[in-house]
Structure 1
Amino acid sequence: MMLGDPSSADDRNPRAGRAAGGFGDAVFEDDQAALWSEEPQEAPAFDLASYWRLALKHRILILGCFLGALAIGAALTLLMTPIYTATATLQIDREAARVVTSEDVTPRENMAMGEEFFQTQYGLLRSRSLAERVVESLGLASSDQALASIGAEPPARSGTAAAQAERRRAVALGVIQEGLGVTPVRGSRLVAISFDNPDPVVAARIANAFAENFIQSNLDRKYESSAYAREFLEERIAQTKGRLEEAERQLVAYAANQQIINVGESDEGDANSGASQSLASNNLVALNSSLATARAARVAAEEKWRSARTSQLMTLPEVLQNPSIQRLTEQRAQLDSEYQQKLSVYQEDYPEMVRLRAQINEVDGQVQSLAANIRSSIQNQYVVAANQERSLQAQVNGLKGDVLDLRDRSIQYNILQRELDTTRTLYESLLQRYKEIAVTGDVTANNISIVDSARPPSAPSKPNMMINLALAALFGLGLGVIAALVLEALDETVATPDDVEKKLGVPVLGVVPLLDKGQTTAAALADIRSGFSEAYYSLRTALQFSTPDGAPASLLVSSARPAEGKSTTAYAVALNLARVGKRVLLIDGDLRNPSMHRVVGVENERGMSNLLSGSADLQSVVQRTRQDNLFFIPCGPLPPNPAELWGSDRLRQFLLEARNSFDHVIVDGPPVLGFADSPLLAASVGGVLFVLESRGTRRGQARGALRRLKVGRARLLGTVLTKFNAKTTSYGGYDYAYDYAYGSDGEPGPKKGKKA
């Protein structure tokens, strides 16, 4: 058989990563490693669509948990004993209404402490002591019949009567505390006291008993605190009275011994309340005040005399303001005016003029005399003021020594006086407080009142069918979701293209649907309008775009383990490339378990084992098939060492020779795991197509196979997911179903890409 000699395959289909002059010599490039990785790609933080697909995948499990929980919830609700809830409402005030203005002995809470006060009251309502009061007041532990009336199981009759009574008391106390509910009304001072019991009358009776006993216990605590305060104050008053009498006796005795005489008490509001003033101190204060006045008068008189002594006599303010001088000045002015008028008529020696001149001189003399007297009086005032100041200063100096001596002797006196005042104040305060408590002790103030008494309820409060069913539904739904997540986390299989990309980190080039029962691969491939054929058409198209220069010239089809569909995929890819006019050489590269010759329908007498061992050439082993442009090389006799044959230089020489005659060489390789054949083949061809069986290949197996291919520097183009059940699996919102009936009979409604 003669093979054509077209131009070099490398010239027609050059490809980066292939050695020059070597057909299909590919190396693993760093940029290619970014296209596929053993680690899954990072998914978004929250993908609602993926969770929805997960719910659809495990819908049977989730629905079963949901319905099972509903059934169990309904059954348990119907089997429960009806419980009735009776509620009494109390109003709790921070302070009770005051009958008298005096304060109680119990502490008062302000607004800042209000929350603590109310929380304390709620704790008292739930206290064991209040529950014991209720049990005692209602006689709930008096007999077995009393316990049975509240729905409690009587204890076994054993031991003494006291032991039996104590056991009944413990049982009743447990039932009472378990059925009690304390619920504050938000934003108010009201609190609801509820009690649950199978008997509505018993529930109401116990709820009212809690309210009444709580009020009574509050009054009892206040009365006990008042009684304790009265006893305490009586004892303290007696002690303080004795100390007060002793302090008074000591103070009087010391004052008589030291001759300390006090004339008055200071005001109670003074800082030195209780101190007294002595005679010497009073005299010193009075004289010191007089001395200050005298000193001020002396200073004023001295200043006036200094001014009068240095100034002209007629310029002094006292002279100018004197009434007599002012009158004489007016008289002189009249005489001087008359003199000037007559001077124009008479001569100066005229008798009338001499008389007027004499009168004027007399008035001037009188004025000078009065002015001199005024200056002398100013001097006398200064002398008197200075003498008075010196006299007072001498008396003050004399009293200072007496006061200082008295102060030395009054130190102990003041100590005794302060002790007396302190004791007296304490005694008066205790006596006043005792009188207030005596008044308030008889008027018991209560800050708790009953707003609404409990009444027997007409309908049970528990169980609530709707609430229980809602809780059961939520529990069942949550359990189903958790079970689905656990199963999904434990699921190691690769079922969908999304699983391939997320779990393996490699692209998906094609998805091949699962054939129906009774349908063969040969028949499905023969029907070009079947979904099976369409899947491989799509794979061929994806291969055309897998490299910048189209489908690789040499391609290895392999899988992680046997029976995943790699032989069918290799044959289908070769068949589809041949249908578009490409010269394709299909090789059965599984030298351990060959099967492609049965698919193609040729004999397996001579093949790749002969070619690689050197016992045959390329033209002697290539066989034609029923499909135009498709040629096939079978496995040939099984060699004892397949890995050594694939690792020899004959493989590279064969690929170089095949490129001159064929456009594409498709190798159906052996499984990757457990054998060294596929990594050796992958290092020599231009690309690797990895086949995965949907729900058949585990993630660990696929990762191991991909890791081995990576070590062999393979150029992985992508994966093909085979045996994909499109009827039970939806992916990305669309079903993988193929139906070419659209348009054949004019009916609308294509199924390809139908929404899930």
Structure 2
Amino acid sequence: MEIDMHGDGFAGPRSGGPQRQGNEGGDLSALRSQGAAVEENGFDIGRYIGILLRHRFLIGGAIVAALIIGLAATLLMTPIYTAKATIQIDRETQQVLGNGTEAAPRDNLVNGVEFFETQYGLLRSRSLAERVADSMGLANSNDFITRMGGEAPSVEEGNAAERTAQRRRRVVGLLRANLSVAPVRGSRLVTISFNSPDPQLAAQVANAFAENFIQASLERKFESSSYVREFLEQQIAQTKAKLEETERTLVEYASGQQIINITEPGAEGGGGQSLAANNLVAINSALADARAARVAAEEKWRQARSAPLMSIPDVLQNTSIQRLSEQRSQLDAEYQQKLAVYQPDYPEMVQLRSRIDELEGQINALATSIRDSIRAQFEIASNQERSLQAQVNGLTGDVLDLRDRSIQYNILQRELDTSRTLYDGLLQRYKEVGVTGGVTTNNISVIDMAMPPGAPSKPDMTINLLMALLLGIGLGVAAALVIEMLDESIATPDDVERKLGLPVLGIVPLLTKGETALTALNDIRSGFSEAYYSLRTALQFSTPDGAPPVMLVTSSRPGEGKSTTAYAVALNLARIGKRVLLADGDLRNPSMHRLIGIENSQGMSSLLSGGATLPQVVRKTSHENLFFISCGPLPPNPAELWGGERLRETLHHALQEFDHIVIDGPPVLGFADAPLLAATVGSTLFVLESRNTRRAQAKGAMKRLSMVHGQVLGVVLTKFNATATPYGGYDYAYDYTYGADPDVPTTDKKPK
């Protein structure tokens, strides 16, 4: 069916010619670099959730397999029983003091950690394991190794001594491998655990470790005390010999020098004052007393000599003189009384006077004798002082001479005192070590003895299954991520943006079973039709001037739905009142004429080769405003037709009559047709089939288009199965098939 085009030209221009935009806003390398930047920046949790959902069956299978293996392994494992003994380790032992009291141990926060870590290390030491093996006789036979599930040494392995040594090494190795030491937090308690397939054996070995650890600790203490005692005994013997030798030397020297020292009662050691010094001290003390007595006697005599006789204090204080003076006073009174009656020469008066005179003579005689005695005392004190002074002078010389002779004696005496002090100190320390070595309490005690466990501690079904679950999840996720990294297919819009760096303009779902592309496009309520409505909207916003006037629709390979997409884009533009020309640009394998139902006698090949004009090849379709140019006869070399100037002229003339030209181009890979068309048209819509197009194919196509500076508007992802590939947190099948029966199965129908 031909339409009248008013000769070779159109009535008037409707828009400009083909817009070749080159690199303006459409450079493919920039798009790819931008997409790579989007892929590298940040952590897209939605993407990884999508990966996990896509591979949920693989992850579920890994989890189930891991759980089955974990369950089987747990059931096949030999049950292991763990017996636990609890001991208490104090920081220091109590010390019994000399007064019988006990000094409590004092903890040092700085050294406490080192002390307890040392104890834990001793519990895990090889020497303690060997001690346990010897105390229990475990190395005497292969019974312990067999009960522990180990391999006993064969009879052929060396001689008897070598087999015994090897058995002992294996026993010690099993003891250390199955022993665990765990301190109880916040206390001085330590739990000693031993694992064994035999619960009785586990309890016996755990108790043996606790008991042997205590015995080893006590033995170390006694060994340390024994060493100290031996050392002190040696030192005491040496000091005693030196002390005896020094004493003999001192005695011999004192005898030779006639040095006699007097030891004070209660004094320790052999020291003291010499006899001459002792005498000098005593006589010098007596001399001081004598000098004091002489001074007192001299002063008394001086007063008695110068004072009247009867005024001397000693005279006045004499009782005899006092009595005679009283008698004289009585006679004087009687004489004066009788003198009033008698004359002085009266015989009685003369007799009375003679008695008075006699008493006066007696008093004078006594007073004189008292004064003479005071002088005699002075003389005696002076003589005694002189005598003592002479003795002191003599003893002073003796003492000075003795001191000269006592220099070596004092040296020997000091050496003797030092040796005696050292000897006494060693004896005291030796006695203390002997006492404390027997009364020191042990700082390690058993709190709870190990009892045979009633249930095995290993394997733990819950823990093993939990570990298997985690392992299964890890392996499943790792496998999903590896598969995703190795997956070169492009299945989702995210894949397009991340792997190709291109925007997604539309997502076309799979057709339902038994539905054709034409039927779906004619049904405006179908998801298929709705997808292309969305694509038309996206194209209208793809450039500042709306949908491009000339568009090439291509794909990397045949069968991806580019012909259907080209027809749908043209149809939807025509439905909004645009005059659209749809051209079949695949001059090697045309299919658009069959989709529309128009004969293919002449078309683009005729127009480009000059065999026909534009009005002769344009055909009107059953849809209003939609016109079509078929492929026409297949040319021998389509690339030469696309590379000529006639294509630009044809597009220029067509745009004077039509608003949009949509070219259904050939695939990019394999031929030069699509790149030549993209370079001429300027705007290219790239079609990708979901899951069936490899990234390498798409990138190769993009590279060929970028080499000719083709502007790719974006990508249309066709045949997208939303039920198999959930995307963006919701199901695309729901959006594009509203009102449809969700139970209708889908089919991967590929419209031409």
Same topology, TM > 0.5: yes
1:46 alignment partner in structure 2: 43
What residue identity is the alignment partner of 1:78?
L
C-alpha distance in 2 between matches for 1:450 and 1:579: 95
Code of the residue aligned with 2:593 in structure 1: it is H
Aligned to 2:84: 87
SS in 1 for 2:32: coil
SS in structure 2 opposite 1:492?
coil
Amino acid paired to 2:17: G
Give the Cα–Cα distance (whole angstroms) in 2 for the partners of residues 48 and 160 of structure 1.
Answer: 67
1:725 paired residue number: 721
Q: Which residue of 1 aligns with 2:688?
A: 692
The residue type paired with residue 461 of structure 1 is: S
Report if the CA contact (8 A) 1:62-1:484 is conserved: yes
Identify if the C-alpha distance between structure 1 residues 523 and 738 changes in structure 2 by more than 3 Å, giving closer, same or farther.
farther
Which residue number corresponds to residue 616 of structure 2? Answer: 620
CA contact (8 A) 1:553 1:686 kept: no
Shift of 1:738: 5.5
Query: Is structure 2 residue 208 aligned with structure 1 residue 177?
Result: no
Question: What is the aligned counterpart of 1:130 among 118, 128, 131?
Answer: 128
Task: Tell me how far apart the structure 2 counterparts of residues 84 and 58 of structure 1 sit (CA, whole Å).
Answer: 41
CA contact (8 A) 1:219 1:446 kept: yes
Query: 2:467 matched to 1:467?
Result: no
Per-residue deviation, 1:101: 6.0
SS in 1 for 2:717: strand
Q: Secondary structure at the match of 1:536?
A: helix
Q: Does 1:529 align with 2:525?
A: yes
Please say which of residues 127-136 and 157-166 is displaced more in the overlay: 157-166
What do the CA deviations read for 1:143-163 (whole angstroms, capped 9, x no partner)? 234544555443322343323
Alignment-derived partner of residue 8 in structure 1: 13
Matched, 1:64 2:61: yes
Q: Which residue is equivalent to 2:629?
A: 633
Could you say if the C-alpha distance between residues 26 and 164 of structure 1 is closer, same or farther in structure 2, counting changes exceeding 3 Å? closer
What residue in structure 1 maps to residue 20 of structure 2? 25
Cross-structure match for 2:359: none
**What is the correspondence of 1:99-248 to structure 2 with a 5 Å cutoff?**
99-100=96-97, 110-145=108-143, 147-158=145-156, 159-238=158-237
- Give the alignment's TM-score, normalised by structure 1: 0.70
Q: 1:622 to 1:434 in 2, by over 3 A?
A: same
Q: Secondary structure at the match of 2:38?
A: coil
SS for the counterpart of 2:138 is: coil
Q: Deviations over 1:555-577 (max 9, x none)?
A: 01111222211111111111222
Aligned equivalents of 1:451 and 1:576: distance in 2?
90
Task: Tell which deviates more after alignment, 711-720 or 482-491.
Answer: 711-720
Which residue of structure 2 aligns with residue 652 of structure 1? 648
Amino acid at match of 1:204: A
Structure 2: how far apart are the matches of 1:518 and 1:690? 27
1:308-352 residue CA offsets vs partner (Å, 9 max, x unmatched): xxxxxxxxxxxxxxxxxxxxxxxxxxxxxxxxxxxxxxxxxxxxx
Residue 451, structure 1, aligned to residue 443, structure 2 = no
- How far 1:114 sits from its partner (Å)? 0.9
The answer to whether the 8 Å contact 1:558/1:689 transfers is: yes
Describe the SS at the equivalent of 2:70.
helix
Q: 3-state SS of the aligned residue for 1:454? A: coil
Q: Using a 3 Å threshold, how does the CA distance of structure 1 residues 60 and 423 change in structure 2: closer, same or farther? A: farther
Partners of 2:85 and 2:206 within 8 A in 1: yes
Cα distance, 1:741–1:134 mapped onto 2, change above 3 Å: closer
Q: In the superposition, relative to structure 1, how do residues 32 and 553 fare at CA in structure 2: closer, same or farther (>3 Å)?
A: same
Correspondence for 2:334: none
CA contact (8 A) 1:139 1:146 kept: no
Report the residue type matching 1:689 in the other structure.
Answer: L
2:135 maps to a residue whose letter is: S
Summarize deviations over 1:589-611 as a string: whole Å, max 9, x none.
Answer: 12233222222223333222232
Partners of 1:196 and 1:248 lie apart in 2 by 68
Q: Using the alignment, how far apart are the partners of 2:42 and 2:144 within structure 1?
A: 62
Question: How far is the alpha carbon of 1:695 from its aligned partner?
Answer: 0.6
Q: Is the contact between residue 608 and residue 634 of structure 1 (CA under 8 Å) also seen in structure 2?
A: yes
Please tell me whether residue 678 in structure 1 is matched to residue 674 in structure 2.
Answer: yes
- Mapped partners of 1:743, 1:519: distance in 2: 16
Conserved? CA contact 1:530–1:738, under 8 Å? no
SS at structure 1 position matched to 2:140: coil
Alpha-carbon distance in 1 for matches of 2:98, 2:667: 101
Please give the alpha-carbon distance, in whole angstroms, between the structure 2 residues aligned to 1:721 and 1:712: 23
How far is the alpha carbon of 1:89 from its aligned partner?
Answer: 0.3
CA drift of 1:192 comes to 0.5
What number of residue pairs does the alignment pair up?
591
Q: Distance in 2 between matches of 1:30 and 1:421?
A: 111
Kept in 1, the 8 Å contact 2:96–2:440? The answer is: no
RMSD: 4.0
Deviation at 1:193, TM superposition (A): 0.7
Equivalent pair of 1:35/1:506 in contact (CA under 8 Å): no
Structure 2 CA distance for partners of 1:524 and 1:742, relative to 1, 3 Å: closer
Pick aligned residue for 1:512 from 508, 511, 519: 508
Q: Distance in 2 between matches of 1:570 and 1:96?
A: 96
- Name the aligned partner's letter for residue 567 of structure 1: S
Q: Partner letter of residue 114 of structure 2? A: E
CA deviation map 1:88-141 (0-9, x unaligned): 10000110122346999xx99732011111111111111111111111111122
Aligned to 1:484: 480
SS of the residue 2:164 aligns to:
helix
Can you give the 5+ residue segments of structure 1 that lack an aligned partner in the other structure?
11-20, 256-278, 280-409, 750-756
TM-score of the aligned structures, taking structure 2 as reference length: 0.70
> What is the distance in 2 between the residues matched to 1:619 and 1:241?
142
| 594 and 118 in structure 1: CA distance in 2 versus 1, 3 angstrom threshold | same
Verify the 8 A CA contact 1:41 1:501 in the aligned structure 2.
no
Matching residue's letter, 1:60: F
Counterpart in the other structure of 1:306 = none
**Distance in structure 1 (CA, Å) of the matches to 2:588 and 2:418:** 117
CA deviation map 1:430-468 (0-9, x unaligned): 555444323333335311000011111222222221121
Which runs of 5 or more residues in structure 2 are unaligned? 255-276, 278-406, 744-752
Paired position in structure 2 for 1:543: 539
Corresponding residue for residue 76 of structure 1: 73
Instruction: Look up the SS of the partner of 1:723 in the other structure.
Output: strand
Q: SS state of the match for residue 450, structure 1?
A: strand
Instruction: Indicate if the aligned counterparts of 2:506 and 2:717 stay in contact, CA closer than 8 A.
Output: yes
1: CA distance, partners of 2:220 / 2:76: 45
Q: 2:333 aligns to what?
A: none
- Residue 32 of structure 2 corresponds to 37
Give me the whole-angstrom Cα distance separating, in 2, the residues matched to 1:93 and 1:699.
Answer: 72
Q: 1:611 aligns with which of 596, 607, 610?
A: 607
Q: Verify the 8 A CA contact 1:131 1:177 in the aligned structure 2.
A: yes
Seen in structure 2, the aligned counterparts of structure 1 residues 149 and 738 have a Cα distance that, compared at 3 Å, is closer
In structure 2, the residue matched to 1:587 is: 583
CA distance in 1, matches of 2:646, 2:415: 124
Distance 1:37 1:99, change over 3 A: same
Structure 1: distance between partners of 2:224 and 2:236: 18
Q: Write the deviation string for residues 373-430 of structure 1: whole angstroms up to 9, x where unpaired.
A: xxxxxxxxxxxxxxxxxxxxxxxxxxxxxxxxxxxxx9x9999999999988876665
Task: Measure the CA separation in 2 of the matches of 1:414 and 1:648.
Answer: 137
CA distance in 2 between partners of 1:415 and 1:668 (Å)? 130
Residue 714 of structure 1 deviates from its aligned partner by 2.2
Q: Could you tell me whether the CA contact under 8 Å between 2:26 and 2:710 is conserved in 1? A: no
| Distance in structure 2 (CA, Å) of the matches to 1:560 and 1:71 | 45
Tell me by how many angstroms 1:637 deviates.
3.1
Q: In 2 relative to 1, CA 134–739 (structure 1 residues): closer, same or farther, beyond 3 Å?
A: closer
